A = this chain, B = another copy of it.
Amino acid sequence: MGKADIHDVAKAAGVSISTVSRAFTRPELVSAKTRAKVLAVADQLDFNISRSATALKSGRTNRVALLMNESITSWFNTQVFAGLESAMHPAGYDISLFQHIDTAENRRDFFTNLPIRRNVDAVVVASFAIDPHEVEQLRRIHVPIVGINIPSDEGFDASVSIDDEEGMRKATQHLIGLGHHRIVYPCSEAVKNLDASIDARTRGFVRACEEAEDRHDIDWRVLTVPRGPEFVDSALAALLALDEFPDAICCQMDMMAIPLMVKLERYGHRTPRDYSIIGFDDSPYADTLNLTTMRQDPYAMGRKAALKALDLMQGKTLETPHETVEAQLVLRGTDAPYHG
């Protein structure tokens, strides 16, 4: 028991192994009676088709690789994974996860050894600044390569990215449109060649401010603080040290905005009464705590990437291989018109 193979089932059902195989994967080619018999016997013997054998025979692996920066535990990565999974699992694919492809060492390791070579049917690269040489290496796997939030389409068969710069520009314009004058952008340092979206967001903020300078009298600044677990407190301190407290705060992400608004209240600065604050992501607690923010939907991006990969694996040609989605302004309770 627990050892029944296709021959055992065939024998017990009084048919050939071909018929057993067909009963599972080509039911329409087997008479209803035979099929019922086979499936009943199979269930009794705890038999099931072996995915390894099917894979070997078919030449496919039924596996896709997901490469990501950092850990899957970040909000963004988890959502991407879940989105991918939502389409890949039903299609019969497992996701082979490669985390922490970020340090120089890990990257060299991965891209030169290519452990996934000949062992995945597609590769999805999630949100990191992969360099052209690395893409080049990836192509040697000879399977579709799909990117999510990658800095350049070059070398990718498909991609779906959010326009971080435009998203942050919209966020900033919203604050300016509300009449705010003193706008601060607290921001943790970006790691070079890694946090493409952090840089893009900062650019969006700066651009919006520069564009508005002609028409509005605004005083804006980027407040860069060191990376690390203390980045919120660093930003808080920097904010409180300002000669004049801002009337609007534009945050690179909700993880900055949420603790900031909570802590600022303890110092007497209450939003939206005293200042407006806007986040980016629409991540956990943004809703409950009523944070106005720019929504991005990494789950949807993961799912779209999966659908594209699925099509490519079937040899289809995509109508729109490369897609850009926009962040959406979600108005909630932390923004209000300026009332000097």
- Beta-carbon nearest neighbor of A50 in chain B: B118
- Kindly list chain B residues whose C-beta atoms are within 8 Å of the C-beta of A56: 50, 52-53, 56
Q: Are B262 and A119 in contact (CB under 8 A)?
A: no
Q: Is the CB of A142 closer than 8 A to any CB of chain B?
A: yes
Q: Are B97 and A96 in contact (CB under 8 A)?
A: no
**CB-CB under 8 A for A89 and B97, given A56-B56, A118-B50, A259-B289:** yes
Most chain B beta carbons < 10 A, residue from A2, A51, A98, A142: A51
Q: Are A259 and B285 in contact (CB under 8 A)?
A: yes
CB distance from A237 to the nearest CB of B (A): 14
Q: Is the CB of A156 closer than 8 A to any CB of chain B?
A: no
- Kindly list chain B residues whose C-beta atoms are within 8 Å of the C-beta of A73: 78-79, 82, 299
- Kindly list chain B residues whose C-beta atoms are within 8 Å of the C-beta of A2: 142
**CB-CB under 8 A for A52 and B55, given A79-B73, A288-B259:** yes
Q: How many copies does the complex hold?
A: 2
- Beta-carbon nearest neighbor of A284 in chain B: B284
- Beta-carbon nearest neighbor of A265 in chain B: B265
CB distance from A64 to the nearest CB of B (A): 10
Q: Are A71 and B82 in contact (CB under 8 A)?
A: yes
Contact count band on A? 35 or more
- Give the CA-CA distance A84 to B275 in the complex, in Å: 44
- Give the CA-CA distance A97 to B287 in the complex, in Å: 28
Q: Are B119 and A50 in contact (CB under 8 A)?
A: yes
Q: Is the CB of A192 closer than 8 A to any CB of chain B?
A: no
Q: Are B72 and A82 in contact (CB under 8 A)?
A: yes
**CB-CB under 8 A for A85 and B72, given A2-B142, A259-B285, A265-B265:** yes
Q: Is the CB of A304 closer than 8 A to any CB of chain B?
A: no
Of the candidates B50, B71, B85, the one whose C-beta lies within 8 Å of that of A97 is: B85
Q: Are B118 and A48 in contact (CB under 8 A)?
A: yes
Q: Is the CB of A46 closer than 8 A to any CB of chain B?
A: yes
Q: Are B259 and A119 in contact (CB under 8 A)?
A: no
Q: Is the CB of A140 closer than 8 A to any CB of chain B?
A: yes
- Give the CA-CA distance A63 to B89 in the complex, in Å: 14
- Beta-carbon nearest neighbor of A42 in chain B: B117
- Beta-carbon nearest neighbor of A46 in chain B: B140
Interface string of A244-260 (1 = CB under 8 A from B): 00000000000000110
Most chain B beta carbons < 10 A, residue from A53, A95, A285: A285
- Beta-carbon nearest neighbor of A55 in chain B: B52
- Kindly list chain B residues whose C-beta atoms are within 8 Å of the C-beta of A82: 71-73
Chain A residues packing against B (C-beta within 8 Å):
1-2, 46-53, 55-56, 61, 63, 71-73, 78-79, 81-82, 85, 89, 94-99, 114-115, 117-119, 140-142, 229, 232, 258-259, 262-263, 265-266, 284-285, 287-289, 299
- A-B residue pairs in contact (CB < 8 Å), sample of 6: A1-B142, A47-B118, A56-B56, A89-B98, A94-B94, A265-B265
Closest 8 CB pairs of A and B: A2-B142, A52-B55, A48-B117, A48-B118, A52-B56, A259-B288, A51-B119, A94-B94
For the complex with contacts A48-B114, A72-B85, A262-B289, 14 further pairs of A-B residues with Cβ separation under 8 Å are A46-B140, A49-B118, A51-B61, A51-B63, A51-B119, A52-B56, A56-B56, A72-B81, A73-B78, A73-B82, A85-B97, A85-B99, A89-B97, A258-B285
